[in-house]
Structures are given as structure tokens and as C-alpha cells.
Amino acid sequence: MSLPMVVPDPGLPSSVTIWEVGPRDGLQNEPGIIDTSTKIEFIERLGDAGLPIVEASSFVRPDRVPQLADAAEVVGGITRRTDVRHPVLVPNMRGLETAIAHGVTDIAIFASATETFAQRNLGRGYDEQWGMFDPVVSAARSQDMSVRGYLSMCFGDPWEGAVPAPQVVTAVLRLRDLGCDTISLGDTIGVATPGQVADLIERLVVAGVPLGVLGVHFHDTYGQALANTLAALRAGVTSVDASAGGLGGCPYAKAATGNLATEDLVYMLDGLGIEHGVDLDALIATSLWLEARLGRPSPSRVLRARGDNTRKES
């Protein structure tokens, strides 16, 4: 049985936007360097599969994330199309200037809800990070660019432990005040559970953050990514981050394992009758194609279920 039985849930959104992070968040944690042409083809294939947002790369220092040292070549090599957005992560003004020079129209910044991770990931403290991001967001907005704010460690931090929800709410409001159009709530080390997710989203709504601003970004360390996603959908969130094949992690938080697999998310959404626009077969073919180039199996459950037969036949 390759397709799920469709049983709609009236308590869930009718449509969801999938924010594909595989080419950036997925590949940045690979032990080896992936050649530029493979990255470009990966991005193109994901767009062809119907994903409306495919995060292309990150303009960071090559010594910090060597896997993305070819960001300029990747961004310059992908096809610009009207039906797919290709955001790029920028950590500072230098990154933004590079993005502008390459015609990027969508950027993302990466903030932390905790002091320790801000120090380790950004080289700045929790309070200092906002001063670093302020000119970046202001300059981007002056160029009519859309700005996404990633917020890491929203549910747990490997050094500080559980992160209090009010602390996360404060950080989200800081990102809103900076001028971020959307904000992605990151379970960076994959420790969240559905109750935590529902509670945080409710607190954010009470604090005045519109649901349309929020996205969710779950890692599957404890096998909770899909359950947490369902809790977020039930709370009214309609933007979900995912990575083809379940690739990913975080170079500065070794406890972080793979992201929610896009195939697993699409299968669940199909079963719930929620519109998303992605061709699951084309997505599976793309992840199997990349899997062969990485030389190891993907953690995606759907790829294990559907891909095993494809591998046997090929």
C-alpha cells in the first residue's frame, strides 16, 4: 500500500506550506563536502517536486561551515523561477551584502533563545545578538527583501537544559520588533513533546504574535517530530520546516540529529487531506537520488517503506 487512506480532520488547517531546508540545514552537517553541481541539481529537483520554498544555502564563513563554502556558486547556478522561492541564511551584514550582490530576495537570520547557544553559534551573548541582527534586517527590508527569523533552542538546550516558555516568547517578540516577517520555532536538539509545543504556541498567541507569522522546525532525536508537527497544526500553525530524506543536524549542537523528513510530513498531510502541493513520488525519487550520492541510507521512514522496493528493482 503506497498511499495513505485520506481521513480529514476538521480541527486542522486545510493547507500547509512546507519550507524545505535540506540543501542548507540538511547538507551543512554532512561529514564530507558535496560537489556544487549535486547541490544545484538537488535544489532544482526539489522545486520540480512542487516544494514552494527551497532554502538554497548560507553565506557564512567557510571555516565555520565548510560544507556550504560554495554558497555563491550554488545561488548563482540555480534557476530563478516564479513558483519557487530560494531563501539564503545570512549571519551578518557581510553575508547580506553578498546575498544582495547575487540577486537574493529572501533571507533568514539565525537567533538563539539561550545564552550558551548564542555564544557557541554566534560568538555573541543572548543580548548582543539583537544588535548584530538589527542592521541586517533593516537593510534587507530597505531592499524589499523578505526576512525570516530562525529561533533555536526553543524547547531544550544541551548546556542549559529545559528552556522556559516565557524566555522563548520574549525572544520571538524581539525578532518581531526587529522586523522579521516570519519566525521559525526550532526544536534544535529534538527534545520537545506535543504538550510543550501546544503550550508555547498558545503563549505566543496570547502575547500578540499572529499564527500566520509562526513556523515550526522539529528534529527527530526522540522520534517526536511528526507528533510535534501535528500538535502545531492543531494549534493553527500552517508553515512547517522539513528536510528531504530527514537530513540534517547542527554543527554547534552535537545532540541535534536529523530534521523532520519531508517525505514523512507529506505522507501524513496526504492522509489528513491537507493540501501542500508536493508530488510525493517525485520527492522520494529525489531523496533516493541524493541518498546514492551520499553513500548511505536516509533516516526517512517513508523512504525505508517505499524506497526499499525501488532499490531492489534498480
Check if 154 is active-site: no
Three-class DSSP category at 30: coil
- Of the CA atoms within 13 Å of residue 20, those in its CB half-sphere come to 31
As given in the structure block, the three cell numbers for residue 232 are 502545531
**Which member of 108, 178, 250, 269 is catalytic?**
250
3-state secondary structure of 125: coil
d(CA 314, CA 98): 42
Handedness of CA 276, 137, 236, 114 (dihedral sign): positive
Please report the beta strands in the chain, taking only residues with DSSP state E, as ranges in sequence order.
Answer: 17-20, 53-54, 57-58, 88-89, 106-112, 146-152, 156-157, 161-162, 182-187, 214-218, 239-242
CA distances from 41 to 34, 48, 224, 285 (A): 12, 10, 30, 13
**Cβ distance 278 to 266 under 8 Å?**
yes
Look up residue 272 and give its DSSP letter. Answer: T
Cell numbers 564530507 correspond to: 32
Q: How far is CA 69 from CA 27, 205, 312, in A?
A: 11, 38, 36
Active site residues: 250
